[in-house]
Amino acid sequence: METVTQHENKRQFKRWHKISLMLIAFLITAGIGVLIFVNGYIDRSIPQTNGSIKIMGLKAPVNVTRDESGVPHIEASNSKDLFMAQGYIQAQERLFQMDMARRQASGTLSEVAGIKALDQDKYFRTLGLRKAAATSYNEYSDEAKQVMEWYADGVNAYIKQAKNNRALPIEFTLMGAAPDVWTPIDSLTIGKYMAFDLGGHWERQAFHYYLLQNYSQEKAYELFSSYPEEAPTIIKDEELNIDLSFKSAVIPHAFNGSNNWVVSGSKTKSGEPLLADDPHLGLATPSVWLQMKLHSPDYQVSGVIFAGIPGIILGHNKDIAWGVTNTGPDVQQLYLEKRNPDNKDEFLYEGRYEKARIFKETIEVKDEDPIEYEVVETRHGPVLSEFAESSGEDTVLSLRWTALDATTELEAILEINQASNWNEFEKGLEKFLVPAQNFVFASKDGTIAYKANGKIPIYESGSDALLPLEGWKEENEWKGFIPFEELPTVINPDKGFIETANNKVVGEQYPYHLSNNWAQPYRYMRIEEVLQARNDFTKGDMKDLQMDQVNLQAREFAPMFLEYVGSKRLSERETEAVNLLKDWDYVDEVGAPQPLVFHTWMNMIMDQLYSDIPESMDRLFKGKGQTTDELLRKANAGKEAIWIEEQGGLQDLIQETFTQTITVLTEEYGEPLKKWAWGDYHKVSFEHPLSSISFLERFFNSEAPIPVGGSQVTVMAASYKEEESGLVNHGASWRFVLDGTDFTSASHIVGPGQTGHFRSPWYHDQREDWVNGNYHDTSLTKPEGETLILTP
């Protein structure tokens, strides 16, 4: 029989159990409510693709039809409405990316990212990309300025609506930020940033300088990008610490480049030209490119553009097609500047001290007090070493760079969008000054052509561009710029094709110096090998070539390495690896073990060769692969190679790194070796900039990385971060193939997709297409798909 106390306990338990169930029900309901609210909030910013939206300032309705790949086809009855709509649609798809891009280039990331972005902001304030953009704006025609204003009006229309509707992309909320009004200077600043990303050669000059400060001349010269004819003048280490000078510099990716080629009708099955282009840039979410089609009475053009800029920079219209690769000329020059010991703002020039220009910058920092920062500019340009503490007492480094001049690339883009033949296209190129690019061209009349285009300085000799020059001597100034009509140009060559892959573009007969720094030639050699072989090419063949994974570096070096390994007593695992490499077809295929062995081996060789170079300077060692290849060739030919001899000679270097390679890979992937796969290490993810925050990864990068073939030396470019387990972060950011039988249509891949919103069907829909080479076709004619009508 229950006691009174037991009965009371049961009653209390039932009461609390009921309360607990009610509380749980409340929390679940509240949680669902919160989830519904959050989902609704996120979904507000998904781009509207049908119905209608009113935009103040339009003259007439504009139709925006998105095809099955999410490509916006904008059809307007006049140019004003066309570019307003382009600005609006770009903001719909990529507003967060646009805002971050202008902040990065302008040096204002700290406002939203906090103190961790301060050094980067200081660097870009020092470079002065935004100042250069503002100066450039004054050089544009009234017509081009008007286009920029119309475009900005469209962006701002979207920003205003998104703020009013609380529909800004979720990234702004996560960062506690909101976009400011868009201006034409923002567009031009992003353009200047692309010139920065495609860079120049100041990093290699600084690296050469470091070598001469720290090694014998003979040893230093071995790592020069070109061997100097005579010893340069050296500033002693105590006067300028080159290592400290660039400790916080932002360095563009070493493999920024591209492939492009154009084939004449004499070598195609149809008798019409073929053109292919795949620019190699960072691979991330969203893509650096946004594909669009623009249609109005004055424009009918399709292709890609950087989010934040009007027009189409690469693509085609109904009469012509074009593509680019990076020329990589020496357009950046470091100058040693002697400071007046009695006045820190004066620098020596021809026996007299000149006053530098001083710019006072205030950098706003999230959750911190503003930082007052001073930028110093000599007659040559900004003093880069100023932001890196006291790198020199009375000697500093300044940068002369063509991109800091007033330039007019957007004007060129608008003109070439409307061109109908080579003469009109080349005329437009006169205004495309930075970055210097290799343009390939095809037209409806069968013309194929090439031009290394841009503002390229004249050096008296190539050795002048190898090191920082003494800024106090007039003789070291640039001697002007290569005249436009004398830039390297090829029209309808006898061999029937033109290809470029960041390779050396001129021979010794060319009267001007272009560069000391060229990409490893393997992509170029492979493209030429394929294009020389036949005279019946089709569009499908061009796609296959863009996805080609033949590794010519391995074809050259793997047999050489195996000769040296053959004299060594091998373990069972090493013997298995040797047999695998002997049977290799030199294709960096995703499922093959040999690419994993070869690339790891090459990395081991470089790590051992340059182990005493500090990381701060190693990142300035652009073209390291090309330099290493030359050292290996020299040593194999019995010539002096000090860096290799100090490792005990080529045989010791090869044998030791081979053993290390097999040991490391076995520890990572186990046995047997034949089950290893390149794709176990080499994978692509297309990371969103906020996915590094762990709880956001499931939203912005929900899919696992995809195993992928190719490498940094194959035509299918897929460069990876060695320190991050082979994650591919650089390669063909856009693939484009056009068949001259129909200039109104072309094939594209924009990895990972068109939009920046993670809930859009076009967010990551082209990830696997990028890996497997599945193209989508886009036409200048009206497509099928949902249509959004923008109305006045």
d(CA 409, CA 312): 12
CA triple 635-637-638, angle to 5 deg: 65
3-state secondary structure of 220: helix
d(CA 60, CA 50): 17
> What pLDDT score was predicted for residue 170?
93
Strand partners, 180: none
Contact, 80 vs 299, CB < 8 A?
no
Domain locations in the chain?
Answer: 1-44, 552-586+593-676
Residues in the chain, pLDDT under 50: 1-2, 4-7, 9-10, 13, 25-27, 29-37, 227-238, 387-391
d(CA 659, CA 672): 16
Is 258 marked active-site?
Answer: yes
> What pLDDT score was predicted for residue 463?
76
CA triple 597-599-601, angle to 5 deg: 65
Contact, 292 vs 65, CB < 8 A?
no
Phi, psi of 472 (to 5 degrees): -90, 5
How does pLDDT run across 173-208, given as a tens digit for each residue? 999 999 999 999 999 999 999 999 887 678 899 899
Tokens 């012509």 correspond to: 320
pTM beyond 0.75:
yes
> What pLDDT score was predicted for residue 696?
75
d(CA 132, CA 549): 40
Q: Is 666 left (phi over 0), alpha (psi -120 to 50) or beta?
A: alpha
For the record, the structure tokens of 588 come out as 């960096």
Phi, psi of 444 (to 5 degrees): -60, -25
Contact, 312 vs 74, CB < 8 A?
no
Beta strand residue intervals within 697-757, DSSP E: 706-707, 718-721, 727-732, 735-739, 745-749
> What pLDDT score was predicted for residue 411?
98
Candidates 740, 592, 773; CA nearest to 680 is 592
> What pLDDT score was predicted for residue 193?
95
> What pLDDT score was predicted for residue 34?
39
How does pLDDT run across 343-388, given as a tens digit for each residue? 999 999 999 999 999 999 999 999 999 999 999 999 999 998 754 4
Residue spans of alpha helices (H) in 707-792: 767-772
For the record, the structure tokens of 403 come out as 């991109």
Please report, rounded to a whole number, the percentage of residues in the chain having pLDDT higher than 70: 89
Residues at the annotated binding site for Ca(2+)?
330
> What pLDDT score was predicted for residue 227?
47
> SS in 3 state form for 512-525?
CCCCCCCCCCHHHH
d(CA 352, CA 381): 18
Phi, psi of 103 (to 5 degrees): -65, -45
Candidates 404, 345, 339, 344; CA nearest to 126 is 404
Which H or E run includes 360? strand 357-363
Candidates 424, 428, 430, 429; CA nearest to 447 is 424
Residues in the chain: 792
Candidates 717, 728, 720, 702; CA nearest to 773 is 717
Residue spans of alpha helices (H) in 519-649: 522-532, 539-546, 552-565, 572-582, 594-609, 615-618, 624-636, 642-645
Candidates 276, 722, 333; CA nearest to 501 is 276
> What pLDDT score was predicted for residue 504?
87
d(CA 291, CA 748): 9
Active-site residue among 106, 225, 258, 711? 258
Q: What is the DSSP letter of 571?
A: P
Q: Return mean pLDDT, the chain.
A: 90
Whether residue 273 has a cis bond before it, omega within 30° of 0: no
For the record, the structure tokens of 406 come out as 């007033």
Side by side, which strands form the sheet with 437-443?
51-54, 786-791, 62-66, 72-75, 289-295, 300-306, 314-317, 320-326, 437-443, 448-453, 489-491
As a 3-state breakdown, the chain gives helix, strand, coil percent values, each rounded to 5, of 40, 20, 40
Beta strand residue intervals within 166-299, DSSP E: 257-263, 274-282, 289-295
Those residues whose C-beta lies under 8 Å from the C-beta of residue 695, and which sit 6 or more positions away, are none
d(CA 145, CA 417): 16
* Cβ atoms within 10 Å, residue 245: 25
Residues at the annotated binding site?
330
